[in-house]
Amino acid sequence: MTDNISRRSLLTSSMAAAGAGLMLAAPSPTPAADAEARPKSEPFRYCLNMGTIRGQNLTLVEEIETAAKAGYDGVEPWSRKIDAYVKEGGSLKDLGKRISDLGLTVDSAIAFSNWIVDDDAKRAQALEEAKRNMDALAQIGGTRIAAPPAGATDQADLDLFKAAQRYRALLELGDQMGVVPQVEVWGFSKSLARLGEAVFVAIESGHPHACLLPDVYHVYKGGSEFDGLQMVAGNSIHVFHANDYPADPPRETINDSHRVYPGDGVAPLTEIYQTIYNSGFRGTLSLELFNREYWKQDALTVAQTGLEKMRTSVQKAFA
């Protein structure tokens, strides 16, 4: 009972600090510099997270070319796919040039190092893995990487103060590599499932580049209310995973595969977009879906449909 009370107290103090304007305001990244040039109806950048077309089993180069053909501003590749590209003899320098020549930026990347776990040896190995991932990412022009609570998803008693210290260590590694790790909300996890938990870890890291990687589906799945986003400084979010979810199955049993295109579900997207905009967010919406029905379809069709529906949902919010 004492542990539960302590946990709730920590989260309450975390959100109170955010409400007082203490949420770390990480420096706004380069892609947001064109914010003034964007139309008022579309104040965000659009990015394709490669999980959206993962089931089509394309090569990394094919995924990137698909994003370019579909009309995205940027891409969010998976580190596993970058590793596979290198193992097959691919040049990271050439890949970075190809991405740039296609008019794309690498807005973020998805990785799963166990930076947050209690085991010292595993955590040390995880930092080495993160270093390799960051190095490869930097070579193709990427400056941000996801930092989800991988390895601690079944741990309900994670000490959030220790998690914050570990996030700081990851951020300090990122300083050396020129890449910013973004602490990610994972709604299905027993740790960092709620918006307040991830915010707490970011604040208590005490690092000037601490930032949050929210996700429409994960905020819902974890049980947080979207109103909580108004307590987070918008420039503490560089990338926001965009998606939607249906009314059924319910929150308790819904999973990643149920994500749908923005606007095809019941998520309050207009409220979400307006809230983060009013908080100062001018970064990237990255379409992240794991819908197995979409994976059965042509990858370019899925990418184009996703961008069209994401743009439409944004335009609706700012009409």
3-state SS class at 147: strand
Cβ(23)–Cβ(236) under 8 Å? yes
State the pLDDT at residue 33: 57
What does pTM read for this prediction? 0.91
Bridge pairing between strands 239-242 and 212-213: unpaired
Cβ(153)–Cβ(191) under 8 Å? yes
3-state SS class at 275: helix
The domains located in the chain, with CATH, are 45-318 (3.20.20.150)
Cis peptide before 249 (omega within 30 of 0): yes
Query: Which pLDDT tens digits describe the chain residue by residue (319 residues)?
Result: 334 434 444 444 444 444 434 454 444 444 455 777 888 999 999 999 999 999 999 999 999 999 999 999 999 999 999 999 999 999 999 999 999 999 999 999 999 999 999 999 999 999 999 999 999 999 999 999 999 999 999 999 999 999 999 999 999 999 999 999 999 999 999 999 999 999 999 999 999 999 999 999 999 999 999 999 999 999 999 999 999 999 999 999 999 999 999 999 999 999 999 999 999 999 999 999 999 999 999 999 999 999 999 999 999 999 9
**219: CB partners within 8 A, 6+ apart:** 185, 187, 195, 226, 228, 229
Dist. CA 290–CA 264, nearest whole Å: 14
Number of Cβ within a 10 Å radius of residue 250: 8
**Residue type, position 111, single letter:** A
Check the CA dihedral 135-184-309-41 and report its sign: negative
**40: CB partners within 8 A, 6+ apart:** 318
For 2, 28, 105, 256, the CA distances from 31, given in Å and listed in that order, are 45, 8, 8, 28
Cβ(143)–Cβ(189) under 8 Å? no
Give me the phi and psi of 181, to 5 degrees please: -75, 135
State the pLDDT at residue 36: 73
202 class by beta-carbon count within 10 Å (0-12 exposed, 13-18 middle, 19+ buried)? buried
Dist. CA 175–CA 181, nearest whole Å: 9
Dist. CA 229–CA 195, nearest whole Å: 8
State the pLDDT at residue 26: 47
Cβ(209)–Cβ(173) under 8 Å? no
State the pLDDT at residue 32: 52
